[in-house]
């Protein structure tokens, strides 16, 4: 996308930041363009606006951490391009690994050093981090934190219920313990997501700024679900 269009990477008017023009910026622009086309038809909980928010958080945390912002911005745009494969396989395919595969031909053509190109791919592959592929560079740690932050707090609550609706889950499933319920079923509720995943996210943050933001979001999210259960039972 040309800067003369007066839009940002996301096609929105009135950009908050206009990247400096140059070879590095061309990589970021190419990553943004490639990623946006990969999100056509995505469901709301993992749509293009999630990538948008992750990019904004990467700007904030990456600046504080002294990250290579070209690597970080490129990886942030590309990090979830494998998501469709994971959704279509009901979780059977890891979208981080698929995303790296999909991004490699594009990133290999970037006019960057081999180390920087490999770092972009490492960021994509490690952003999910569940046992394998831990984030090993500052850029990967920043992307990991930014992505996790978008899963908690007020946005995290909203996304959890949006995802539950997408898979046909109920509002709440008080008759089954979250630990005994299955993903992608009617019991894959927002509260289940909170109990099994979101309540543990703050413990996994890898940067100082990420930890600080996660603490605030965790407190809000916990208060929300306490209130939710009280209201569900008619106690409020
Ligand atoms: Fe992801
Ligand atoms: Fe993501």
The alpha carbon of 89 and the centre of ligand 2 are apart by a number of angstroms equal to 17
Q: Is 90 exposed, middle or buried (0-12, 13-18, 19+ CB in 10 A)?
A: exposed
Burial 15-29 (b: 16+ CB within 10 A, else e): eeeebeeeebeebbb
Output the six-digit token pair for 79: 């990090």
Domains within the chain, CATH numbers bracketed: 1-133 (1.10.3210.10), 151-236 (1.20.58.1910)
Ion ligand 1 — residues with CB under 5 Å? 80
Residue 189 is predicted with a pLDDT of 98
The alpha carbon of 23 and the centre of ligand 1 are apart by a number of angstroms equal to 27
The alpha carbon of 1 and the centre of ligand 2 are apart by a number of angstroms equal to 22
Q: Is 142 exposed, middle or buried (0-12, 13-18, 19+ CB in 10 A)?
A: buried
- Closest listed ligand to the CA of 125: 1
Local confidence pLDDT in tens for the 236 residues of the chain: 333 334 444 444 333 444 445 778 999 999 999 999 888 777 777 789 999 999 999 999 999 999 999 999 999 999 999 988 887 887 788 999 999 999 999 999 999 999 999 999 999 999 997 767 899 999 999 999 999 999 999 999 999 999 999 999 999 999 999 999 999 899 999 999 999 999 999 999 999 999 999 999 999 999 999 999 999 999 98
The alpha carbon of 147 and the centre of ligand 1 are apart by a number of angstroms equal to 7
């Amino acid at each position: 996308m040309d800067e003369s269009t007066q839009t940002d990477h996301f096609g929105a008017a009135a950009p908050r930041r206009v990247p400096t023009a140059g070879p590095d910026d061309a990589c970021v622009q190419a990553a943004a363009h490639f990623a946006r086309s990969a999100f056509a038809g995505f469901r709301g909980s993992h749509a293009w606006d999630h990538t948008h928010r992750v990019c904004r958080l990467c700007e904030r945390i990456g600046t504080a951490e002294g990250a290579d912002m070209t690597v970080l911005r490129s990886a942030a745009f590309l990090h979830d391009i494998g998501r469709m494969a994971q959704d279509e396989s009901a979780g059977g395919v890891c979208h981080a690994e698929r995303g790296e595969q999909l991004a490699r031909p594009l990133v290999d053509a970037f006019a960057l050093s081999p180390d920087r190109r490999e770092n972009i791919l490492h960021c994509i592959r490690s952003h999910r981090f569940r046992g394998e592929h831990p984030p090993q560079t500052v850029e990967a740690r920043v992307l990991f934190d930014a992505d996790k932050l978008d899963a908690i707090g007020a946005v995290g609550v909203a996304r959890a219920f949006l995802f539950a609706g997408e898979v046909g889950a109920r509002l709440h499933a008080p008759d089954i313990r979250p630990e005994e319920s299955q993903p992608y079923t009617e019991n894959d509720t927002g509260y289940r997501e909170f109990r099994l995943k979101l309540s543990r996210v703050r413990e996994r943050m890898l940067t100082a700024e990420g930890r600080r933001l996660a603490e605030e979001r965790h407190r809000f999210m916990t208060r929300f679900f306490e209130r939710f259960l009280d209201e569900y039972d008619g106690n409020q």
